[in-house]
């Protein structure tokens, strides 16, 4: 159902710290031109923890409107309370999103049975669900056994795998039929070699054409060409995580003249040293002068 590149799109703020919906539409237009399959608003890269509910909902509505018929919108509507995830998911469904990205509930560290019941309840809303395994953020992994159980639900169609292990792709796909999207740019190529269908990408915010081409080549079985592009892009994949995501990618977009370099606390700008290292990488990639 979902394959190729889905950009985990940033939420631009103006200098006063308000969501800049005009810039957001411009970023989505850039993604259309870059040939990505879709966008993922209000995820980690979209600074979802610092948006209030009205902003969260308006960002999703704006994304769906700007995406039109060209891009699929996988809306970030997760929460650490199932009731919150249900409210946000129903809104995304009404707004016209193609699917929901459901992060593992954070802070309360539920059991695997709790995770199963949580994700099943969200899937019962009726919107296709992309599970989001990211233990580095939430201190709680969706176990392989739980993924297999959840894959039996007709609305749980994919998994964003950001656990840092390509081995999990083999473990999951050997036991069930669920679409896997890499959650780490640097692991996209090896995960696709094992059967993943694409990536929910941070790097495609700044290089949508190149990241899309790498995924297209991998899907076409042109592994040598995809491998070469992976290694060309690898310094970018690495340096966009010089600091906590999405600080580096938003700094990169600011260097490219596309957004204001504005964050909401507790996120704050890169150090000068990290910013200079990132600028050199962007220059080497031909993204800034």
The Cα–Cα gap between 157 and 130 comes to 6
Q: Which residues on neighbouring strands pair with residue 132, listed in sequence order? A: 103, 160
Distances in Å between the alpha carbon of 42 and those of 102, 132, 135, 193, 271?
11, 13, 18, 29, 25
Q: Which of 6, 21, 116, 132 does the annotation list as catalytic?
A: 132
Give, to the nearest 10 degrees, the angle between helix 272-284 and helix 247-255: 60
Catalytic residue among 6, 21, 160, 275: 160
CA distances from 165 to 85, 109, 115 (A): 27, 21, 20
Give the integer Cα–Cα distance in Å for 90 and 93: 5
What are the residues facing 103 on neighbouring strands?
132
In sequence order, which residues have a C-beta less than 8 Å from that of residue 28 and are 6 or more positions away? 9, 39, 63, 66, 67, 71
Residues 6+ apart with CB under 8 A from 282: 206, 236, 252, 255, 256, 288
Query: Catalytic residue at 132?
Result: yes
| Number of neighbouring beta carbons within 10 Å of residue 266 | 8
Asked about 58 being catalytic, the answer comes back as: no
Task: Decide the pairing of beta strands 156-161 and 129-133.
Answer: parallel
Q: Which of the residues are catalytic?
A: 132, 160
């Amino acid at each position: 159902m979902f394959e190729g590149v889905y950009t985990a799109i940033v939420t631009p703020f103006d200098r006063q710290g308000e969501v800049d919906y005009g810039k957001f539409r411009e970023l989505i237009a850039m993604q259309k031109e870059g040939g990505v399959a879709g966008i993922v608003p209000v995820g980690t890269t979209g600074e979802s923890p610092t948006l209030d509910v009205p902003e969260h909902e308006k960002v999703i509505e704006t994304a769906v409107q700007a995406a039109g018929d060209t891009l699929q919108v996988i809306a970030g509507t997760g929460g650490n309370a199932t009731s919150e995830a249900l409210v946000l998911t129903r809104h995304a469904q009404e707004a016209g999103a193609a699917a929901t990205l459901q992060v593992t509930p954070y802070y309360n560290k539920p059991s695997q049975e709790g995770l199963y019941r949580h994700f099943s309840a969200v899937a019962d809303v009726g919107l296709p669900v992309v599970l989001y395994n990211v233990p580095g953020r939430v201190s709680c992994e969706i176990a392989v056994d739980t993924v297999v159980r959840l894959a039996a639900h007709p609305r749980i169609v994919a998994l964003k795998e950001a656990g840092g292990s390509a081995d999990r792709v083999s473990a999951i796909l050997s036991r069930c039929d669920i679409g896997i999207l890499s959650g780490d740019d640097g692991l996209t190529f090896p995960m696709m070699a094992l059967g993943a269908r694409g990536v929910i990408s941070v790097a495609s915010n700044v290089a949508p054409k190149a990241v899309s081409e790498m995924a297209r080549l991998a899907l076409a079985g042109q592994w040598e060409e995809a491998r070469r592009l992976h290694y060309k892009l690898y310094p970018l994949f690495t340096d966009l995580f010089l600091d906590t995501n999405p600080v580096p990618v938003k700094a990169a977009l600011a260097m490219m003249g596309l957004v204001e370099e504005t964050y909401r606390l507790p996120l704050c700008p890169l150090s000068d040293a990290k910013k200079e290292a990132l600028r050199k990488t962007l220059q080497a990639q031909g993204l800034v002068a």
